[in-house]
Amino acid sequence: MITFQAALRQAQKEMVAADMGDQAAQLYLLELAHMRSHDLYMEMDQVMDEELYTEYLKGIKRMLAGEPLGHVLGYEWFYGYRFIVNEHVLIPRPETEELVANILAEYDAYFSHKENVIAADIGTGSGAIAIALKKEAPALHILGTDISDDAIKVAKENAQHNDAHVPFMIGDMLKPLADRDLKVDILISNPPYIPIHEEMERSVVDYEPHVALFGGEDGLKYYRMIFADCRKVLKDQAMMAFEMGWNQRAGMEQLMKEYFPHDRYEIVRDMSGKDRMLFVYINL
At 125, which CATH number?
3.40.50.150
What's the pLDDT score for residue 213?
Answer: 44
Structural element, H or E, at residue 27:
helix 23-32
Q: What is the structure's pLDDT at 201?
A: 54
Type of residue found at 232: K
36 and 161 in a single domain? The answer is no
The verdict on residue 197 lying in a domain is yes
Query: What is the pLDDT, as a whole number, of residue 1?
Result: 81
Verify that 177 and 239 share a domain, yes or no.
yes
Q: What is the pLDDT of residue 208?
A: 47
pLDDT at 41: 84
Q: Is the dihedral angle over the CA atoms 5, 7, 12, 14 positive or is it negative?
A: positive
Q: Specify whether 51 is located in the same domain as 178.
A: no
Do 59 and 97 share a structural domain? no
pLDDT, residue 211, reads: 47
Summarize the confidence of residues 235-252 as an average pLDDT: 93
pLDDT for position 198 = 53
pLDDT at 195: 59
- Per-residue model confidence (pLDDT) at position 50: 93
Whole-number mean pLDDT of the chain? 90
pLDDT confidence of residue 199:
53
Q: Are residues 44 and 130 in the same domain?
A: no
- Whether residue 236 is contained in a domain is answered as yes
Instruction: Indicate if the pLDDT at residue 126 is higher than 80.
Output: yes
For the chain, give the number of residues. Answer: 284
| Least confident interval from 20-34, 169-183, 203-217 | 203-217
In a domain, 82, yes or no: no
Report, as an integer, the average pLDDT of 72-87. Answer: 96
**Mean pLDDT along residues 240-255:** 93
Q: Rounded mean pLDDT of 223-227?
A: 93
Which pLDDT score is estimated for 196?
A: 60
Residues 41-46 have a mean pLDDT of 88
Do 99 and 171 fall within a single domain? yes
Percent of the chain with pLDDT over 70: 90
Q: What is the pLDDT of residue 22?
A: 86
Whether 31 and 153 map to the same domain: the answer is no
| Average of per-residue pLDDT across 261-265 | 95
Residue 80 within a domain: no
Residue-level pLDDT at 205: 47
Same domain, 231 and 154: yes
**Domain shared by 138 and 196, yes or no:** yes
What pLDDT, in 10s, does the model give residues 56-77? 999 999 999 989 999 999 999 9
Burial 193-227 (b: 16+ CB within 10 A, else e): bbbeeeeeeebeeebbbeebbbbbeebbbbbebbb
Contacts of 240 (CB under 8 A, 6+ apart): 186, 187, 188, 189, 226, 230, 234, 278, 279, 280, 282
Bridge partners of residue 194, in order along the sequence = 214
Cβ neighbours for 173, distance < 8 A, ≥ 6 positions apart: 122, 123, 145, 147, 222, 225, 226, 229
Number of structural domains (the chain) is: 2
95 in the same domain as 61: no
Same domain, 26 and 105: no
Q: Is residue 269 part of a domain?
A: yes
From 23, 50, 65, the end of a domain falls on 65
Flag whether 83 is in a domain: no
Q: Is residue 137 part of a domain?
A: yes
Render pLDDT for 141-193 as a digit per residue (tens, 0 to 9).
Answer: 999 999 999 999 999 999 999 999 999 999 999 999 999 999 999 999 998 77
**Residue 226 and residue 97 share a domain:** yes
Structural domain contains residue 34? yes
Which residue range is the domain that position 30 belongs to?
4-65
Beta-carbon contacts of 185 under 8 Å, excluding residues fewer than 6 positions away, are: 111, 114, 117, 118, 119, 234, 235, 237, 238, 239
